[in-house]
Chains A and B, each alone.
Chain A
Amino acid sequence: MDTIGSLILIFISAALINNFVLHYFVGICPFLGVSRRIDTAFGMGCAVTFVIAIAATLSWIFTYFILRPGAPLPGWVWTQLGGDPAVTINLSVLSYIVYIFVIASSVQFVEMYVRRFFPPLYKSFGVFLPLITTNCAILFACLLIMQNLADPKALWGLHQALALAVGGGVGFTIAIVLMAGIREELDLADVPRPLRGAGVALVVAGILAMAFMGFTGMDKGIETAFSSLLK
């Protein structure tokens, strides 16, 4: 597989096959909370995609240079202090706290930036941007990237991390917009009283997740298609 092919595969895998919301069940809170109307759901999806890309870039930089086992920066400090270069310094215990840190501050930064330069966007995002800070889909993307940086033999580059992050964000947008479309129709349906609101939303989310199971195995097909294309 060439690089472009693997990037496309990572993207499609994160967006559809292993959809963050409907396969891993992360980011459920905004998925249920902000999926009442299609336009706000799309706004939330775009905001998440934006933040996830920034957070993934930052967390890739931190993981690659500082946190992963045998990272260059602490290793350099270690040898400067007169330590044995053969010893691997492993700071991956810090990953969670650093990721949360990175996500929170990048969300803050994005909020200030958008408020200054895109006031209408800020007005429509308003409530959602601070909410994204606690969106587990973003932390999940960072942790997936960390997993792929743990093995020194198969290190991911920034481009692969970005493909995963943007794919995940697009997948989140697809899921939340689909959900919002269904829920808009659901408002007109005669739902039994005990199931109204969150109950029927969860049932619909489950059915949607089952539908997304249909994408399983699609990666093999795409891989075959790519390899036959290259021949």
Chain B
Amino acid sequence: MLTPITVTLAATTLGSIAVGMGWVLGWANRTFHVEVDPKVDAILAALPGANCGGCGYVGCSDYAEAVARGEAPISLCPPGGAGTAAALASIMGVEVGETLPYRAVIHCSATLQQRLKRTAYRGEPTCAAANLVAGVQGCTYGCLGLGDCMRACDYDAIEVVDGLARIDYRKCIGCKACAKACPRNIISMVPFKADRIMIVGCSNKDFGPVVKEVCSIGCIGCKACTKATDLFTMKDNLPVLDYDRYDPAAVNMQPAIDKCPMESLVYVGKPSRQDLAAVAAEDLPNRVEADFKTTVDDTEWRG
């Protein structure tokens, strides 16, 4: 007799509490409604959502709010590039300026064999640690090849081959993570006006004889390239390429390359036809790409 009554009472109690709470919440939802700027949602939807911080804001939503308030330019998103900038421009109703994709470049082009005066290093296998030790390699400016940038890259775009870090520009999104990670600060962000652009592939600020002792291809500061074209200016014994004026499609840089006695002016980006033809006969090793769906493991096993 008592049980069905208790059950009925329990059901009624719960039901009436549910109705009461639902009514209160529904009322609150209407009364406390907050108008959110629809632009913020639209901008957030147009952004890639990588939350990489390349724009300088905390994340995509922070940048979206700044854009909606009109405080930030629409062109700051490196992963989104021109497409995102155009989408943001149509949302905000402003004109798109020219946005260039900024990509990381490594200002060192010497492989392990070309960097001289190296000693065996058996310490912590990171560039940050090796950079603290004197005498790991003769060149105190160049790449150490222990891959701090590779580990900093969330997009798997950096790879160390022959002791030199190399960037895969099909994967690089320009988030600056590698530039921040490099203890020698030899990675900089450069506007890619074309698929293939020229960079100065050396960071050694020493005078010629000193450089020749530590590297077989390093820049000796001979200023030959500045005489061949006016795009270069010398700073700290290194040529600096003026990317504002440098246009790979219009300017022929071949005279400067011919004048350079070392091999310090290099092209990065998409390989040219000649480059591809030169290695056409070589066999490509089978590449094993990480499958991010199944393997997330950055353990460093050090025996």
Main SS class of interface, A: helix
Main SS class of interface, B: helix
Interface size on B, residues (CB 8 A): 19
Q: Does A87 contact B (CB under 8 A)?
A: yes
A-B contact number at CB 8 A: 55
Residues on B lying within 8 angstroms of A by beta carbon are 2, 5-6, 9-10, 12-14, 17-18, 21, 24-25, 28-29, 31-34
A208 vs B62: C-alpha distance when bound (angstroms): 37
Given A112-B29, A115-B32, A116-B34, answer yes or no on A98-B14 (Cβ-Cβ < 8 Å).
yes
A81 touches B28 (CB 8 A): no
> Shortest Cβ distance from A43 into chain B, in angstroms?
17
A89 vs B7: C-alpha distance when bound (angstroms): 11
A101 touches B6 (CB 8 A): no
Q: Residues of A contacting B12 with CB < 8 Å?
A: 77
A87 touches B2 (CB 8 A): yes
Q: Does A24 contact B (CB under 8 A)?
A: no
Which chain A residues numbered 195 to 216 have a C-beta less than 8 Å away from chain B? none
A109 vs B6: C-alpha distance when bound (angstroms): 30
Most central of A78, A87, A109, A113 by chain B CB within 10 Å: A109
A109 touches B14 (CB 8 A): no
Which listed residue, B5, B14, B17, B34, touches A115 by the CB 8 Å rule? B34
Given A109-B28, A115-B34, A116-B34, answer yes or no on A101-B21 (Cβ-Cβ < 8 Å).
yes
A78 vs B13: C-alpha distance when bound (angstroms): 13
Which listed residue, B5, B9, B14, B28, touches A112 by the CB 8 Å rule? B28
Q: Residues of B contacting A74 with CB < 8 Å?
A: 9, 13
A89 touches B6 (CB 8 A): yes
> Shortest Cβ distance from B298 into chain A, in angstroms?
13
Q: Does A121 contact B (CB under 8 A)?
A: no
A101 touches B18 (CB 8 A): yes
